[in-house]
Structure 1
């Protein structure tokens, strides 16, 4: 039976590209498939990015017969076998939201993916170059890779396309930051629908309706996903939160108490590092905010 990869999921159908010698046969038409009932009975749902075994049916369509082991799995957005998580946040319109950026980073760290922060709409920040540089410096100091782009001028697009070569990446981030516009520049002829920003609400319309892998022409595939304005922590244990703040690690291992929450315990090296300016105020404040949010959710559920 042939092996393939799901490149799109829509209205109960899975669109599968064949795999030839381990590589996606991009020149071949995708096969429209349904999932076998046994998968549903087992509580298994195929995801975009899944490598699968499928069978062809008499009507030229197919049936997903088996889902091969996943290297990674994201819940929001639902994508499998992603190597790189590209988090897009705009410099302006909407204004940069570091709280939301840190929340996305927590989820990506928990998923085990490699994050890449891309700051978009550089062309709108003519008078805010210094602020953008400070954000870039903050996250690079923590150990994250940060790029700055402008879909209007094309600045940074070639560098980003090279970075995405040879892997499946997921594009996510705050709604209205220009994901579709940037993808249109990365993939000529793609013509994804783009949405205008609501200046009154400060957020964009959700223009992306389903998850789909797009070939960017260099062995890389990008999953464009619905925009999100919020995330929850239901799939993450509160005791796992500090591990998702990578700059805490070297300090946390020397805390006085095992299982330190890094909020109030004496001898907490993370608190000492924050007080000494070695951990950014915004990052520590967001850690406390997320910790309390998670505690509140656990009590409600």
Structure 2
């Protein structure tokens, strides 16, 4: 059947738009927008654990800052955050069921601005960064004097990552009853990094707790150095698994499989004196592929004055022309420890 009539012969499509039937489909015809709801009713929490897409979040029991009570909430990320990494230490905004009751699930709708961000890569050739911890104030590098043998360059890498992130480094050397730690610690004496020493069943817990008070401290270290043992001593309820060193390979077995934030309370202290301890899985390598040369140089503050005097574009390598580092070694301005620091710097820059 034709829609045309004799009167339409001159312009058969004159009123086509008026006769076109448009089927209602509000969902399909709704204009798209990138604006997200403000979630004015959201509450703030801190990420303390991550497990297969579910996040443990600590939120205040009451909006009153004087009320120190807290509760644990389980949350999932909102769809708009699917490309945003959410890690231990993040402060996030939650909506939905934030009661913390068994079976309840809230939703993370926003990640607050981070003060610091600790990152690593799989290896030095990998430019893709892995976000480890957010909002940490300090990094406690746990290293053994022996069994497993301490690795200077691994500690150098930790220091570079800490300085690059704007985090204060600390060193705890364990198993000092097995070997003299002084030759190893001499490599870092010029950096003035605080050092804690411990022997078997003799941890300087009071000193370490004092350094943790009011701070968020991420613990890092090679597998088998005693990191989990130290955390269990500081936070008895943590019950972190403790591994052993393989007598054949001399390597530690991975025991901490995921990162977790734990409250470190000082006995008979107020809540303001408590700190946060973030335990991370033990690693045998720490890639710095995401760190720029400037970031690496920030990790060697003891060499900063010499580096600033180098000619523009200096690579700071041994074959670099007029490099102040070479001149300082030749003139005896740097002792054996300083020369070793230069060697570590050059290996990392390569």
User: Could you state the TM-score of these two structures normalised by the residue count of structure 2?
Assistant: 0.75
Paired position in structure 2 for 1:147: 196
**Counterpart selection for 1:191 from 218, 239, 243:** 239
- Aligned partners of 2:119 and 2:161: how far apart in 1? 9
Structure 2: segments with no counterpart, 5+ residues: 1-41, 121-130, 267-273
Distance change >3 Å, CA 236–CA 21, structure 1 → 2: farther
Task: Pick the structure with greater CA Rg.
Answer: 2
Paired position in structure 2 for 1:90: 144
Paired position in structure 1 for 2:132: 78
- Aligned partners of 1:23 and 1:106: how far apart in 2? 38
Alignment of 1:248-263 (within 5 A): 248-255=303-310, 257-263=311-317
Distance change >3 Å, CA 194–CA 212, structure 1 → 2: same
Paired position in structure 1 for 2:265: 217
| Range moving further from structure 2, 98-107 or 230-239 | 230-239
**Counterpart selection for 1:31 from 69, 73, 91:** 73
- Aligned partners of 1:222 and 1:95: how far apart in 2? 25
Paired position in structure 2 for 1:109: 163
**Contact 1:123 1:153 (C-alpha < 8 Å) held by counterparts:** no
1:115 deviates by: 0.4
Paired position in structure 1 for 2:341: 283
- Aligned partners of 1:176 and 1:24: how far apart in 2? 40
1:286 deviates by: 1.7
Structure 1: segments with no counterpart, 5+ residues: 293-301
Runs of 4 or more above 4 Å deviation: 20-25
Distance change >3 Å, CA 12–CA 188, structure 1 → 2: same
Q: C-alpha offsets along residues 209-257 of structure 1, whole Å, 9 cap, x if unaligned? A: 11110011142011100111012222012354333221121111112x1
| Range moving further from structure 2, 201-210 or 140-149 | 140-149
Q: How many aligned positions are there?
A: 282
- Aligned partners of 1:60 and 1:229: how far apart in 2? 38
| Range moving further from structure 2, 181-190 or 79-88 | 181-190
Distance change >3 Å, CA 223–CA 105, structure 1 → 2: same
1:75 deviates by: 2.1
**Contact 1:142 1:247 (C-alpha < 8 Å) held by counterparts:** yes
1:92 deviates by: 1.0
Distance change >3 Å, CA 199–CA 21, structure 1 → 2: farther
**Counterpart selection for 1:50 from 79, 84, 90:** 90
Q: C-alpha offsets along residues 142-163 of structure 1, whole Å, 9 cap, x if unaligned? A: 222211123x323312211111
Paired position in structure 1 for 2:47: 6
Distance change >3 Å, CA 160–CA 2, structure 1 → 2: same
Secondary structure at the residue paired with 2:236?
Answer: coil
**Contact 2:216 2:276 (C-alpha < 8 Å) held by counterparts:** yes
Alignment of 1:9-24 (within 5 A): 9-19=50-60
**Contact 1:154 1:185 (C-alpha < 8 Å) held by counterparts:** no
Paired position in structure 1 for 2:224: 176
**Contact 1:94 1:203 (C-alpha < 8 Å) held by counterparts:** yes
| Range moving further from structure 2, 137-146 or 8-17 | 137-146
**Cα RMSD (Å) of the superposition?**
2.1
